[in-house]
Structure 1
Amino acid sequence: MSRNGLLEGIQEVGRDPALLLIEIGWRWGFGLIVVIITAFSAFLVLDSLSVNPRRVQAMAALNPLQLAQDIAVGIASIHRLIWRAAFSAGLALTAIWVLFSALGRYATLGRAALRPGASLQLCFVVSLLRAIVTVASMAGWFLAGLVAAGLASAGGKDKPSVGLMSAILLLAFLIIVSAWSTLNWFLSLVPLTGDSTWRESVLKTLTLLRSRRDELLEISITNGILRFGLFVVAVLLSLTVSNVITNARILIADLLAISLLYFVCADFLYMAKLIAIRKLPNTSVTRPLSDVLSRPDTTMIIAG
């Protein structure tokens, strides 16, 4: 039934192209803003550097290790400016993403295939929580790096233990990515319940996870396989184009076109997945939240 639901979702997106256009609009609009803000921040940082032509010519004669050391010294001299630029750009992009994500999801939920959708206020709350989860995950990864470096150097040796550091970072990466994926996926389902209040939306989402976990898993796996297949096709096309075309400008244009086509197809499948999940039958929640959470079969599913 869930495969039929995903197929029905694909058909719904085909019948209502506005769903895909809205999704592409807010995602690609945010991507364009990311490029602009990143380029502007890089320009400000590079503009603060004083370039000595003789020094640049001397660096060209250095071996890769010496060149990397010189670049590291140059970056260290302006590390405060880099941190300020990164913090300001990150804060601005986070606020813009929350705005674009909330408005974009609210607009898609207003279409017939996903109606009735959540309120605009709930969409803002969900987007804000997803942003907080992402920032917390990045902070956790940074903290894990500091802990790994400290433990690897705790022995007092001249060289830190690279193996220990790698093991700690790998374990931290798996834990952080798993937690981020689970929370982010769960929050993405909350606006699909059609309730205007946060509590009722969370309760209905938990009930959906408990009662329809098999269908949710099948929809997510099928969608993930399709998206992975698209990614493989995009990579193969990019490699083929790179080996055939020698003109740099034409090559860049072709690679950009392949990337954009992949993102269009990925957004198409994502909207189809949301529609398939939205059409899953759900029962009303009359029990308190503690009863729903205490059920042993309440299961979280990590999906792409």
Structure 2
Amino acid sequence: MNRLREDDLVASGDGTVRGTQSFVHTLSECWSRPSLTLLEVLWRWIYGIPALLLVWHVAKGILSTVSLNTAALKTMTVTDPLQASETLAEAMAVLLPPVSRVAIWLVPLLLVTWVIWSSIGRTIVLRRADNRLHARVGTMILLQAIRVIALAGSFLLWFLCLQWYAQRTVTGPMTRGAEPNLVGYFALSILTTLGLFTLWAIVSWFLSIAPLLAMLCNLGAGSSLTASFRLGPLKSKLVEVNLVMGIVKIALLVLAMVFSATPLPFESIATQDFLNVWWTIVALLYFIASDFFHVARAVAYLKFWRAYESPAEAATEI
């Protein structure tokens, strides 16, 4: 029987469950059950590899039909920000029309496929973690679609912010004959990215717990969303885990960038083939680690819910 261990949550002296410390114990449990991560990696990569190949094929087709000045892109330097900005603007002017035409059909295709496949994959992983859960694939698809729409809205807000920053610090000064403020643009972009990332981690907890509630209590999409806002003290634990996950994602990204840059001091003796293999290995390790923490968050949510549920609810699940 695949059951979660529910006796390793860390509690304070007054009996209150500690979120972060309990999450660390959950990481240990997930590490001792590698099949959960393997399943997560499997269903994600079954989708991701064909999706990347399709995007690569489409990108090659676009590049073969446009006149892109690749030589100018290769010779860009940070010591001449005005020239670099003009080169990037020219490249975007060439690429944006064909990319927009392809994105009209490619983006919806990838999103719809992701919503359906990820709902099936996540159901398999969660039932492997705890076989008391109900299979609610149709409900999962609806809830995942809502999550994707909300996430797409956050990306749209991020993109609009970057456009406004570019107008204020790069394109606006260039039209007046002044030098663009690339440092200011990148500083604002980084701060906005981190801010929106943190905000999403704080407010998106109900979109993550709703599919679990559907499987825990055999609920529909609407009932799951409604129930996710009626969790009482459990809400703070979910927000805490989401914030920890946000920090972990940033840490993983920083580590990936550091390891990617490790061979660069030896660029004079390292071949391009070696660098390509090294970067591929770093990317694979990053995605595997990210998948592991996604599984751990889902398992932590399950354990917290069972720790806070009422005896009546527990009886319906056993």
CA shift, 1:251, in A, is 2.0
Report the equivalent of 2:144: 127
2:262 match: secondary structure? helix
Residues 211 and 86 of structure 1: CA distance in aligned 2, closer, same or farther (over 3 Å):
same
CA shift, 1:250, in A, is 1.5
Residues 39 and 236 of structure 1: CA distance in aligned 2, closer, same or farther (over 3 Å):
closer
CA shift, 1:232, in A, is 4.5
2:211 match: secondary structure? helix
Taking structure 2 as the reference length, the TM-score comes to: 0.67
**Which amino acid in the other structure matches residue 34 of structure 2?**
P
Which structure 2 residue ranges, 5 or more long, are not aligned?
A: 1-9, 11-18, 313-318
CA shift, 1:158, in A, is 4.1
Report the equivalent of 1:246: 270
Residues 50 and 242 of structure 1: CA distance in aligned 2, closer, same or farther (over 3 Å):
closer
Report the equivalent of 1:108: 125
Taking the aligned partners of 1:82 and 1:172, their CA distance within structure 2 comes to: 25
Which structure 1 residue ranges, 5 or more long, are not aligned?
A: 287-304
**Which amino acid in the other structure matches residue 212 of structure 1?**
L
Does the 8 Å contact 1:204/1:282 carry over to 2? no
Residues 60 and 268 of structure 1: CA distance in aligned 2, closer, same or farther (over 3 Å):
closer
Does the 8 Å contact 1:9/1:271 carry over to 2? no
**Which amino acid in the other structure matches residue 303 of structure 2?**
K
**Which amino acid in the other structure matches residue 127 of structure 1?**
Q
**Which amino acid in the other structure matches residue 268 of structure 1?**
F
Structure number with the bigger relative contact order (C-alpha 8 A, sep ≥ 6) is: 1
Q: Deviations over 1:25-78 (max 9, x none)?
A: 232333323322221222222232369xxx999999999867975785576467
1:264 and 2:288 matched: yes
CA shift, 1:84, in A, is 0.4
Taking the aligned partners of 2:296 and 2:165, their CA distance within structure 1 comes to: 41
Residues 198 and 98 of structure 1: CA distance in aligned 2, closer, same or farther (over 3 Å):
same
1:200 and 2:223 matched: yes
Does the 8 Å contact 2:209/2:228 carry over to 1? yes
Report the equivalent of 2:238: 216
**Of 223-232 and 235-244, the range deviating more from structure 2:** 223-232
CA shift, 1:104, in A, is 1.4
Taking structure 1 as the reference length, the TM-score comes to: 0.70
Taking the aligned partners of 1:277 and 1:186, their CA distance within structure 2 comes to: 11
Residues 117 and 62 of structure 1: CA distance in aligned 2, closer, same or farther (over 3 Å):
closer
Percent identity at matched positions? 25
Report the equivalent of 1:282: 308
CA shift, 1:269, in A, is 2.4
Taking the aligned partners of 1:62 and 1:205, their CA distance within structure 2 comes to: 50
Within 5 Å, which residues of 2 pair with 1:1-304?
1=10, 2-3=19-20, 5-49=22-66, 76=93, 79-113=96-130, 115-117=132-134, 119-144=136-161, 158=176, 177=197, 180-193=200-213, 194-195=216-217, 196-208=219-231, 210-244=232-266, 246-280=270-304, 281-283=307-309
Report the equivalent of 1:294: none
CA RMSD, 1 decimal: 4.3
